């Protein structure tokens, strides 16, 4: 319980007309610390109690009696709370030291399942920075939901079906070289994909040829299927190598193709329920009553099923397979209309659990303000980007700590962590401009800055040979310590906010604030000097390290012990 919750709890016991939640929303932080740490304005009670707010404030101040407060004083219409910083710091430090990485663990989720549809790159196309967002946001959300007691199922809904395979087969048959593809599968397939798109703009007959090859693929043509399987297998080898670099794992790789034989059942259910309407030869579901102007296109006039039909099949399969409490889709915000349709069609089908479908949209990554596009060949590939980030991290480590033993391992943790952290610290719905130099910097609001703060604390603890005692009475009441204590105490609430908003950036910003608060403390306090407070200062350093490491873990970022 943080200090505001503690105060709201105390106030709720003496104020009848407001509940704890309402009180919490009214609490203020006084501009001047001489007026206390937290203030409660009594104006809101004046109308109900028909008394002057000054009198109400005086009554409340008299009734509150808790060891958590140094004093409670009525000043005009305000009840001002002065916290007993020593008592609170002792409790917070004991909690963190006792619970270690399990500090802030919660049981809200009751071990229910949350399915996370994430990453989902397209087969035969390179893994770009664009795919990174869905991958790292989804992975972080998985850690966050596990922290509050859910089980998660991470699904990589691979883009392994569609007209692009018709394009690729045509390109490969016209210009492909088997040896070249075997040697550098993704590079070669990308060249073919870019070339066929450029040629098709000049020669529309190539589009028709691609459609024909995709029809063959749908009908099980042997040659088309063999090429498709080959493209898929080669791409997966490359993707898995990158997922290993990112330390991201999946519970399922069921992609679009997996649902090929499950879509007719969806069309049958829609027909049985009388939801299908004919429109210009196509089968659609009208969704106007949900405020959705465009109907959901289920089947085209040529009988081909569509993207939404496949997603409906996937939603039904996942509900049956995982009995999810929530099914979340970490997909770019350009797909918002699609997911509104998906939820509405499921609702029309009579499934109450349609309310448990959540689209978690995110903004675009740009380069020098320009949108990235695989089709135009204007793309930042992840593999060379990781290599460059690791190389830059290593150069900085060499300069700061040339004697470090496992430089390569640390450089990898810092380089990969830098890319992930930079992405995750950005509010999810905002995009960001890709800037590797800013990402890997040890200064500013970056992953390396937070990792370095953690490594610095480990160095202090090694020098002091400090082992915290779970029965120890560690307490501090100076201003710099108090800033850290407040942050440590707030960690459980921060995790809840991140989960409620599907927003890892809340954790990343918290980690930055905690690292900054510790660095300020380190600059002002001689932690290792012999003094009565030495052990308490070391306990504070230890607790900060525990929470920093756990915050980084929730983001999928490693915390090296030495840097």
The per-residue pLDDT for range 398-456, each reduced to its tens digit, is: 999 999 999 999 999 999 999 999 999 999 999 999 999 999 999 999 999 999 999 99
Q: Which of residues 89 and 124 earns the better pLDDT score?
A: 89
Does domain 3-83 bear CATH number 3.30.750.24?
A: no
Q: Which of residues 415 and 183 earns the better pLDDT score?
A: 415
pLDDT band at residue 32 under the 50/70/90 scheme: confident
Helix residue ranges per DSSP H, 203-221: 205-218
pLDDT band at residue 187 under the 50/70/90 scheme: confident
| 323-353 residue pLDDT tens | 999 999 999 999 999 999 999 999 999 999 9
Reduce the secondary structure of 173-187 to three states and give it as a string. Answer: HHHCCHHHHHHCHHH
Residue among 117, 122, 137, 556 nearest 363 (CA): 137
Residues 455 and 527: beta-carbon distance below 8 Å: no
Residue with tokens 């089968």: 283
| 287-313 residue pLDDT tens | 999 999 999 999 988 777 788 999 999
pLDDT band at residue 125 under the 50/70/90 scheme: confident
Residue 273: what pLDDT?
97
Residue 377: what pLDDT?
64
Residue 427: what pLDDT?
97
Q: Domain 382-554: give its CATH superfamily.
A: Isoleucyl-tRNA Synthetase; Domain 1 (1.10.730.10)
Residue 304: what pLDDT?
72
pLDDT at 374 over 70: no
Residue 130: what pLDDT?
81
| 233-250 residue pLDDT tens | 888 888 999 999 999 999
Residue 319: what pLDDT?
99
pLDDT at 177 over 70: yes
| 469-488 residue pLDDT tens | 999 999 999 989 999 999 99
pLDDT band at residue 184 under the 50/70/90 scheme: confident
Residues 379 and 372: beta-carbon distance below 8 Å: yes
Residue 353: what pLDDT?
99
pLDDT band at residue 376 under the 50/70/90 scheme: low
Q: Given strand 282-285, what is the order of strands in its sheet? A: 277-279, 282-285, 296-299
pLDDT band at residue 375 under the 50/70/90 scheme: low
| 501 Cβ contact partners less than 8 Å away, ≥ 6 residues apart | none
Residue 306: other Cβ atoms inside 10 A: 17
pLDDT at 378 over 80: no
Question: Token pair of 273, please?
Answer: 């329920």
Q: What are phi and psi of 52, to 5 degrees?
A: -65, 140
Domain ranges of the chain: 3-83, 160-242, 382-554
Question: Token pair of 272, please?
Answer: 């049985």
Beta strands 432-433; 365-367: pairing state: parallel
Residue 488: what pLDDT?
98
State the average pLDDT over residues 486-494: 96
Residue 93: what pLDDT?
97
Residue among 151, 141, 105 nearest 492 (CA): 105
pLDDT band at residue 381 under the 50/70/90 scheme: confident
Residue among 525, 68, 137, 529 nearest 544 (CA): 525
Residue 106: what pLDDT?
97
pLDDT band at residue 369 under the 50/70/90 scheme: confident
Residue 491: what pLDDT?
97
pLDDT at 218 over 90: no
Residue 124: what pLDDT?
83
Distance CA 72, CA 393 (A): 51
Average pLDDT taken over every residue of the chain: 95
| 200 Cβ contact partners less than 8 Å away, ≥ 6 residues apart | 167, 206, 207, 210
Q: For residue 168, how far is the Cα from the chain centroid?
A: 33
| 528-542 residue pLDDT tens | 999 999 999 999 999
Beta strands 365-367; 357-360: pairing state: unpaired
Helix residue ranges per DSSP H, 176-262: 178-183, 185-202, 205-218, 222-246
Helix residue ranges per DSSP H, 349-478: 382-400, 407-425, 436-439, 447-464
Q: Which of residues 362 and 2 earns the better pLDDT score?
A: 362
| 509-530 residue pLDDT tens | 999 999 999 999 999 999 999 9
């Amino acid at each position: 319980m943080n200090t505001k919750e503690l105060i709201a709890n105390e106030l709720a016991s003496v104020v009848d007309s407001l509940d704890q939640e309402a009180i919490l929303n009214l609490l203020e932080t006084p501009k001047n610390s001489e007026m206390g740490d937290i203030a409660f304005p009594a104006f809101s009670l004046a109308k109900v109690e028909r008394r002057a707010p000054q009198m109400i404030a005086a009554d409340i101040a008299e009734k509150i009696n808790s060891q958590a407060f140094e004093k409670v004083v009525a000043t005009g219409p305000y009840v001002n709370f002065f916290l007993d910083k020593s008592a609170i710091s002792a409790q917070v430090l004991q909690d963190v030291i006792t619970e270690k990485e399990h500090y802030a663990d919660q049981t809200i989720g009751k071990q229910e399942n949350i399915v996370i549809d994430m990453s989902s790159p397209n087969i035969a196309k390179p893994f770009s920075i664009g795919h990174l967002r869905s991958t790292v946001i989804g992975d972080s959300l998985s850690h966050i939901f596990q922290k509050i007691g859910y089980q998660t199922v991470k699904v990589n809904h691979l883009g392994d079906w569609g007209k692009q395979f018709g394009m690729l087969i045509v390109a490969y048959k016209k210009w492909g070289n088997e040896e070249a593809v075997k040697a550098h599968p993704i590079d070669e397939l990308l060249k073919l994909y870019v070339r066929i798109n450029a040629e098709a703009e000049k020669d529309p007959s190539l589009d028709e040829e691609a459609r024909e090859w995709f029809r063959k693929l749908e009908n099980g043509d042997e040659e088309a299927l063999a090429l498709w399987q080959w493209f898929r297998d080669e791409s997966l080898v490359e993707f898995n190598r990158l997922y290993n670099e990112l330390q991201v794992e999946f519970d399922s790789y069921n992609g679009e193709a997996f649902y090929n034989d499950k879509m007719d059942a969806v069309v049958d259910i829609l027909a049985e329920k009388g939801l299908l309407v004919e429109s210009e030869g196509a089968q659609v579901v009208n969704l106007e009553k949900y405020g959705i102007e465009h109907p959901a296109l289920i089947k085209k006039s040529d009988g081909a099923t569509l993207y939404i039909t496949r997603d409906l099949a996937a939603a039904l399969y996942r509900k049956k397979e995982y009995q999810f409490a929530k099914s979340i889709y970490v997909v770019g915000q350009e797909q918002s209309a699609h997911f509104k349709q998906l939820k509405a069609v499921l609702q029309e089908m009579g499934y109450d659990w349609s309310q448990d479908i959540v689209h978690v949209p995110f903004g675009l990554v740009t380069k020098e303000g320009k949108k990235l596009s695989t089709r135009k060949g204007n793309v930042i590939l992840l593999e060379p980007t990781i290599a460059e980030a690791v190389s830059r991290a290593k150069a900085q480590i060499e300069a700061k700590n040339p004697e470090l033993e496992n430089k390569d391992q640390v450089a990898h943790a810092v380089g990969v962590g830098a890319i992930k952290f930079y992405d995750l610290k950005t509010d999810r719905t905002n995009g960001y401009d890709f800037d590797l130099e800013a990402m890997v910097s040890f200064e500013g609001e970056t992953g390396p800055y937070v990792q370095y703060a953690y490594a610095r604390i480990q160095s202090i603890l090694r020098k002091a040979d400090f082992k915290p005692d779970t029965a120890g009475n560690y307490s501090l009441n100076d201003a710099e310590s108090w800033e850290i204590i407040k942050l440590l105490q707030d960690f459980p609430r921060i995790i809840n906010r991140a989960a409620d908003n599907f927003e890892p950036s809340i954790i990343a910003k918290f980690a930055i604030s905690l690292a900054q608060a510790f660095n300020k403390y380190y600059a002002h306090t001689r932690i290792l000097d012999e003094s009565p407070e030495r052990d308490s200062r070391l306990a504070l350093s230890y607790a900060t390290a525990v929470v920093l490491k756990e915050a980084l873990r929730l983001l999928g970022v490693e915390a090296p012990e030495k840097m």
